[in-house]
Structure 1
C-alpha cells in the first residue's frame, strides 16, 4: 500500500504481482476494491497496480467537479511517478472514460488498452439513471438499499433471480471501510455526465480492445460499437453473457478475453 501526491491530490495505490505492467482503473464512485476479486488472477502474469481515483477510497476528496480529463491526468502523473509506463490499462465504466482520456491526451503512458463496459458520452437515459442515484445518496438512503436499487442495471438475471446471493452482494457495501462520500460521488458524476470522447477518438493510435457483455443494459453494446468504429486501432468484442458488472458476475470469461488481448504480439490488435 502506498500514497503519492500528483496534481496536488494524494492518491492511494497498490502494486502486486510480477510481469508486464497493468493498471486497473475503477468506475463511478468505486475505489480500487472493485477489482479485489480479479487482482490475484491478473497478478499471476502481470505487475498489477490499482488506485483510488480522487474522491474515492483512501484518496483525497478535493472540491469538485472532477473533469474526466483531470482524472486521466491524475492517472498519467501517477504512472510517471511510479516509473510504470508505458503500461497496459483496463478501464471499467467511468474508468473506461478515464482510459479514453489517457489514450487521447497521454498516449505514451498506455501500451495497450481495454475499455470494459465503456461509453463515449452519456445518453439521456444514463443521465436519468445518474440523477436517481444522486437523489438516493443526497436523501441519506442506506447504501445497501441504494445498491439494490441499482442492481438491475449492473447484473443479469443469473444473479438477480437468486435473491439470497443478490442480497449478500449488496450487503458488501456495509462492510466497506472506506466508503465513497457524497461529495466524492457528486464530483465524479458532474464530470462524467458531460464528457464526450467522440471528437477525439479518431486520433488514438494505441491497440485497444473494446469489451462488453451482450446483456449490458447500462452501457449497451451500441455504445461500445460506437467507440470501436471511431478508434482506428480498436477491436470490438462482445461476450454472449454478462452485463455491466460482468467482471464480477462472469470473471472467468471476462478475464480470458482481457488476458488474451494483453498477451498478443505487438501489431496484432487491429
Structure 2
C-alpha cells in the first residue's frame, strides 16, 4: 500500500493526512494526544486491502499546524468533518484511540450523516477530570529531550513496538530527536475534558459502535459499563495483555476485532450516503 500525502487547510490551520487511495469503503483513523498519523501503520496496511484508509495528523500534532490558536474539542471535530468532505470520502468508519477516539465520538454525535460506524479504542465519555491536564503536562515535561538517538527514545517509551511507535513520531534535528508538538498545546487540548463530561454526546451517537478496552488500560471499567448501559447496543471487546496503546502493542489483535465488527455490520447501515447538505451540530459548552 502506497500512502499519498494530502493537506487540508481549514481556517488557516494545516492538516496533514496520509491517504491509501482506492475505491473501497473509507476509514478515517485518529491518533491520541501527542501521537501522530504514522502510529496506525501496522494496522492500516491490512485494513487497506479492502478499504480506503486515511490517517490524520490532528491539529497541534505531527506534521500538521504546531501552534493552532484553538484546540477546543469543537474544532477538532470540525477538522475531521473538513477532512471527510474535502477528500470526498462520502460517509466513513471512524476509528480513534484515546483522545482521538473522543474526537471520533463527538464527530459521530454532531454529524451522524457522515459516520457509518464508530470504533473507540481506550476512549470514553466520562469526566470531568480536572487533574488530567497537569498529570499529562508533567509526563510530557519528563521526556529527556532531545533524545540522543532513536534507540534511546525507543527504550524510554517502553521498548518493542510500543516504543518504536512513539519514537517514530519524533522530529530528527541536528542535536537529536524532538517532539513534533508543543507541550502547552497538548495540555490546552485537554481543557474541555477536564471541566465536563460528554454523556449527552455519547447518547446522541446513532451508528453501530464498538468499544475496545485494553487488558490493563486507562479507561475505567465503571465508565465503560456506564457507556454500555446508556447505549445497550454497543459492542464491547477487551484485548488481554495490552495497555492503553494497544494499537501499537498488538495491532494484529486490534485488526482482528475491527474486521470482525465491520463484517458483522456490513449492509444497509454501510450505504455510504452523500454528505452534501449535512449540517453538523457541535456543542461547545
Counterpart position of 1:255: 255
2:12 is matched with which residue: 8, 15, 22? Answer: 8
Query: Between Structure 1 and Structure 2, how many residues are aligned?
Result: 254
More deviation in 172-181 or 189-198? 172-181
Match of 1:118 in 2: 123
Specify the alignment match of 1:186 in structure 2. 187
Label 1:210 to 1:170 Cα distance change in 2 as closer, same or farther (>3 A).
closer
Contact 2:161 2:249 in 1 (8 A): no
> Match of 2:36?
31
Q: Deviations over 1:87-133 (max 9, x none)?
A: 01101110111011111111111111101111113465xx5454233
Please give the alpha-carbon distance, in whole angstroms, between the structure 2 residues aligned to 1:167 and 1:262: 26
Distance of aligned partners of 1:143 and 1:76 in 2 relative to their CA distance in 1, 3 Å threshold: farther
Q: Which of 106, 111, 136 is 1:106 aligned to?
A: 111
3-state SS, counterpart of residue 37 of structure 1: helix
Displacement after TM superposition at 1:237 (Å): 1.8
1:82 Cα deviation from its structure 2 partner: 1.1
Q: Do 1:117 and 1:213's aligned partners in 2 also have CA atoms closer than 8 Å?
A: yes
Tell me the C-alpha RMSD between the 2 structures. Answer: 3.0
The answer to whether residue 205 in structure 2 is matched with residue 200 in structure 1 is no
The structure-2 alpha-carbon separation of the partners of 1:51 and 1:195, relative to structure 1 and needing over 3 Å to count, comes to farther
Structure 1 residues 122 and 46, CA gap change in structure 2 (3 angstroms) = same
Instruction: Tell me whether 241-250 or 86-95 shows the greater mean CA deviation.
Output: 241-250
Query: Quick one: structure 1 residues 33 and 111, their matched pair in 2 at CA, closer, same or farther if it must change by over 3 Å?
Result: same
TM-score (norm 2): 0.77
How far is the alpha carbon of 1:42 from its aligned partner?
Answer: 1.4
Q: Does structure 2 conserve the Cα–Cα contact (< 8 Å) formed by 1:66 and 1:191?
A: no
Alpha carbons of 1:87 and 1:165: their partners in 2 closer, same or farther (altered >3 Å)? closer
Distance 1:90 1:171, change over 3 A: closer
Asked whether the equivalents of residues 228 and 234 of structure 1 are also in contact (C-alpha less than 8 Å), the reply is yes
Q: 1:36, CA displacement in angstroms?
A: 2.0
Consecutive unaligned residues of structure 2, counting only runs of 5 or more, are 173-178, 271-285
